[in-house]
Amino acid sequence: MATAQSQSYRQRLLEKQRELTSEIARIESDEEQVAAADSPDVGDRANRAYDKEALFQQLEQARLILVLVREAILRMDAGTFGACVACGGAVEPKRLDAVPWARHCIACQEKQDLGVL
Ligand SMILES: [Zn+2]
């Protein structure tokens, strides 16, 4: 991969890492507020349970992507960024442009989605 191209992916990965880190901090503080806002009202309680669930899912998702982003940065440092972690082939540039932290080429990702990888 050309240096300029790899630099631009690195920039995007670092940017995403920052975004996710602050998003996680924000969700965690929202969670604390939801937990602290006690109310005897049944409707409020139901809303709060719903909010908690929604925040929890956002948090899980953000943490998952953060792990993938960090792994991609490590692969970049190791010089293996852009290679599929399953077959070693090149991850399609279009795919990397859309998702720079993608671990798999399209063929392997499809296999993984089907549960056969
Ligand atoms: Zn592959």
Q: Ligand 1 center to residue 111 CA distance, Å? A: 9
Model confidence pTM above 0.95: no
Residues 67, 115 within the same domain = no
Q: Ligand 1 center to residue 93 CA distance, Å? A: 13
Residues 76, 89 within the same domain = no
How high is the pLDDT of residue 2?
80
- Alpha-carbon distance 30 to 47, whole Å? 14
What is the pLDDT confidence band of residue 115, given thresholds at 50, 70 and 90? very high
Residues 93, 74 within the same domain = no
Residues 69, 26 within the same domain = yes
Q: Ligand 1 center to residue 14 CA distance, Å? A: 24
Give the domain extent around 100.
82-117
Q: Ligand 1 center to residue 35 CA distance, Å? A: 43
Judge whether 108 and 41 are in contact, CB under 8 Å: no
Residues 67, 86 within the same domain = no
Q: Ligand 1 center to residue 110 CA distance, Å? A: 9
Judge whether 85 and 91 are in contact, CB under 8 Å: no
